[in-house]
């Protein structure tokens, strides 16, 4: 998996920082996660090939998380896209999209398949052979969900010496790798695990923006490799964070520590901060392996 | 009047060119004319103080002319604007704005006063002491209006020698300048024109985007000082222009020539043109005093 940040400012674009948007390359997919105003320009600037996007996930209906979506969908249409696109978000998201298509008398050339998100409990909203996506219920002023992207592990590696020791025919290697037992000529059943190393752990990326400090999300993001957690404010603005349903740097770091994640990225910065280094320093006091969500930066999981 | 171009590409942002948007400073007003995606970022980049905007005019509901409006209105709200703002556009524009405010549970801190535009005939949609705005009915795939901005002339200059010759009391100068006659001590009525030079011509700027070549607009834009007319395509794409309800460079220039305007700006360029100089050359073959709508450029009227 590879994550690219396209925008990580909160609310208002400023200091050449843009509203929330990021892309996650996983398996054959390119996932777009939130899509603030100007995301299509940011994609051009950072050389993200937006025609490759297959699925779009919108966390909630504050404008800094979705105002760029309608323009991107139109651009795809105008540039002749025919491949379907899957859109995940609150039910009302599709109302605004459909209204704006209707007003411009546009009949999309591609199939836009909408998947409404229920925000009452964490759910698996997408799954194929390569990846699984589940929601995380966040605590914001309006219904808001985070997402955990779980790349399914490849099956464990075969150990050829073991296969040869049991005279396993080559044509069965594939099935044993998939987990089937081997039945010897004498009828003995040898489990797959005799021939295979255990599969690697599933790689996981969790996106949590926007939210109050909320320990209830910890079970959903436990041990993920990479966590993006909003940190709109510094610690001295904890009261303001609470009244606006946002988090502070220390709160984001505390969640990362308690959930045992491997790395934390903080973002969704308030426009009051021109210099972001103090936010990073504050988060690192609690969770050392923290990065800033700088636009254009990439993380491999 | 001073015009600043913020975006002049058609449909899709490309080559660091942005969708349609421009601001016109006139009298005490700052008018925003169309507002494609990213307009608020363009304003920051080109140092347009968007808190000064008093009126917004949206020509039609294709996304490249209004997708940036909702974000701008939100930013004004978040930055604490309390001054009212007047919005002119097709009735359905307000439907999309209201829906998106509702979904984000936003109660605007300022008064957004909507003025629906009727697109059946040219109408005066705004008038105060300094400026008058009338619509121009364009011919596009969906209802679309241009706008003519008419700066009202100051009254003519008083000629002091004439006033003294008639012994006009100084306290009456102001009323004579406003057009009142002077009654002499013997009861004779002397018209204002005896004391005043004729007022300067009204300065006019006309915005015409998007439209088929249409001579029916000529009476509405006759003799304006500055005309912005779309020129999406070069002449060899005249058929494509016709089927998409757009104009070519030569057609824009022909309208400028036939309407006797003083200067023409062409814009709304197709994304197929990286280099715009050939478009300018083609228009100038028919109307020499033509400029390209380059972003950040300003014109004084």
The number of distinct structural domains making up chain B is 2
| pLDDT value for A70 | 96
Mean pLDDT of chain A: 94
Q: Among B230, B241, B244, which Cα is nearest to B283's?
A: B230
CATH number at residue B16: 3.60.15.10
- C-alpha pair distances (Å), B33 with each of A67, A211, B84, B147: 20, 37, 17, 9
Distance CA A53, CA B269 (A): 27
Tell me: do A141 and A235 sit in the same domain: yes
Inform me whether the pLDDT recorded for B154 exceeds 80.
Answer: no
| pLDDT value for A178 | 83
In this prediction, residues B89-109 reach a mean pLDDT of 92
CB nearest B99 (choices: A40, A41, A96): A96
In this prediction, residues A46-51 reach a mean pLDDT of 93
Tell me: do B182 and B256 sit in the same domain: no
Tell me: do B60 and B208 sit in the same domain: yes
CB contacts under 8 A, B 38-77 vs A, are: 38, 40-41, 44, 61-64, 67-68, 70-71, 74-75
Question: A65: part of which helix (H) or strand (E)?
Answer: none
Is the CB of A105 less than 8 angstroms away from the CB of B13? no
CB nearest A99 (choices: B67, B71, B95): B95
In this prediction, residues A25-29 reach a mean pLDDT of 92
In this prediction, residues A276-292 reach a mean pLDDT of 97
Q: In the listed set B194, B210, B245, which residue is the last one of a domain according to the structure? A: B194
Q: Which of A153-167, A259-273, B59-73 has the lowest mean pLDDT?
A: A153-167
Tell me: do A174 and A293 sit in the same domain: no
Q: Range of A47's domain?
A: 2-153+201-300
Tell me: do B174 and B242 sit in the same domain: no
Predicted ipTM?
Answer: 0.84
Residue B92 with chain A: CB contacts under 8 Å: 99, 103
Tell me: do A81 and A31 sit in the same domain: yes
Which of A16, A34, A64, A95 is the catalytic position?
A64
| pLDDT value for B201 | 83
| pLDDT value for A133 | 97
Tell me: do B38 and B171 sit in the same domain: no
CB B184 within 8 A of CB B214: no
Inform me whether the pLDDT recorded for B36 exceeds 80.
Answer: yes
B98 close contact with A: CB closer than 8 A: no
Which residue numbers of B are catalytic? 64
Start-end of H helices in chain B: 39-45, 69-78, 91-103, 160-165, 173-177, 218-221, 238-243, 249-259, 277-284
CB nearest B70 (choices: A14, A40, A63): A63
Distance CA A183, CA A73 (A): 54
Mean pLDDT of chain B: 94
Is the CB of A78 less than 8 angstroms away from the CB of B11? yes
* Structure confidence at residue B42 as a pLDDT band (50, 70, 90): very high
Tell me: do A186 and A231 sit in the same domain: no
The residues pairing with B192 across neighbouring beta strands, listed in sequence order, are: none
In this prediction, residues B169-176 reach a mean pLDDT of 90
| pLDDT value for B279 | 98
| pLDDT value for B115 | 97
CB nearest B100 (choices: A44, A78, A96): A96
Tell me: do A190 and A216 sit in the same domain: no
Tell me: do A11 and A101 sit in the same domain: yes
Is the CB of A40 less than 8 angstroms away from the CB of B103? no
Tell me: do A130 and A176 sit in the same domain: no
In this prediction, residues B14-27 reach a mean pLDDT of 92
Tell me: do A33 and A176 sit in the same domain: no
| pLDDT value for A47 | 94
Is the CB of A71 less than 8 angstroms away from the CB of B18? no
Q: Report the percentage of chain B scoring pLDDT > 90.
A: 82
Inform me whether the pLDDT recorded for B155 exceeds 80.
Answer: no
Distance CA B35, CA A195 (A): 64
Q: Nearest residue on chain A to B38, judged by CA atoms?
A: A38
| pLDDT value for B118 | 87
B109 close contact with A: CB closer than 8 A: no
Report phi then psi at A178, rounded to 5.
Answer: -75, -5
């Amino acid at each position: 998996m590879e994550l690219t940040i396209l925008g990580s400012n909160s609310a208002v674009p400023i200091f050449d920082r843009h509203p929330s948007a990021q892309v996650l390359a996983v398996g054959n997919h390119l996932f777009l996660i939130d899509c603030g105003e100007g995301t299509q320009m940011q994609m051009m600037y950072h050389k993200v090939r937006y025609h490759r996007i297959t699925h779009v996930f919108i966390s909630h209906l504050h404008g800094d998380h979705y105002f760029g979506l309608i323009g991107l969908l139109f651009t795809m249409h105008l540039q002749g896209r025919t491949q379907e696109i899957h859109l995940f978000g609150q039910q009302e998201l599709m109302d605004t999209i459909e209204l704006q298509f209707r007003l411009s008398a546009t009949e999309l050339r591609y199939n836009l398949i909408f998947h409404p998100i229920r925000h009452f409990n964490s759910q698996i909203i997408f799954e194929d052979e390569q990846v699984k996506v589940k929601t995380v219920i966040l605590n914001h002023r309006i219904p808001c969900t985070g997402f955990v992207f779980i790349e399914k592990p490849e099956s464990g590696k075969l150990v050829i010496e073991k296969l040869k020791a049991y005279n396993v025919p080559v044509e069965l290697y594939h099935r044993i790798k998939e987990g089937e037992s081997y039945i010897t000529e004498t009828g003995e059943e040898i489990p797959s695990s005799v021939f295979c190393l255990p599969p690697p752990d599933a790689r996981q990326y969790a996106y949590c923006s926007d939210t109050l400090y909320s320990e209830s999300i910890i079970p959903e993001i436990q041990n993920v490799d990479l966590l993006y957690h909003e940190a709109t404010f510094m610690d001295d603005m904890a009261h303001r964070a609470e009244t606006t349903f946002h988090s502070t740097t220390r709160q984001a770091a505390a969640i990362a520590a308690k959930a045992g994640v491997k790395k934390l990225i903080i973002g969704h910065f308030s426009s009051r901060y021109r210099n972001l280094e103090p936010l990073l320093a504050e988060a690192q006091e609690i969770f050392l392996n923290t990065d800033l969500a700088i636009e254009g930066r990439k993380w491999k999981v």
